[in-house]
Amino acid sequence: MRRFACSLIACGLMVASFSLPASANQGIAQAKSQRQAAEGKMRHVGGSMGAGRYEGVGFSTVSADDAIRRCCYWGQKTPVEIGVARGPKGWYATVLYR
């Protein structure tokens, strides 16, 4: 499993600490989270889910990790992609699950 460290990227996006299977990537989930943050609305963005079959979205004013934990199915299904973006109101997360 890969471990991602918490870091703030120059464009203002937050990538949270979490563990994923080595085969996971953050492309689609990250793009969906960035779109939510840009709109300032937590919602299902639609479109491709890549290797995922289920999608959970979450929001938090506390932290990126809290936004991830608030996503539907968190702790119930296996995540294959996780994306988190910081918007003006807080953190927006998208998790794609098997």
How many domains does the chain contain in total? 1
In this prediction the pTM is 0.74
Do 35 and 87 form a contact (C-beta atoms < 8 A)?
no
Each residue's pLDDT tens digit, 27-40 = 999 999 999 999 99
CA pair distance 82, 10, nearest whole angstrom: 19
User: Quick check: 88 pLDDT over 50?
Assistant: yes
CA pair distance 21, 77, nearest whole angstrom: 13
Show the domain range for 31. 2-97
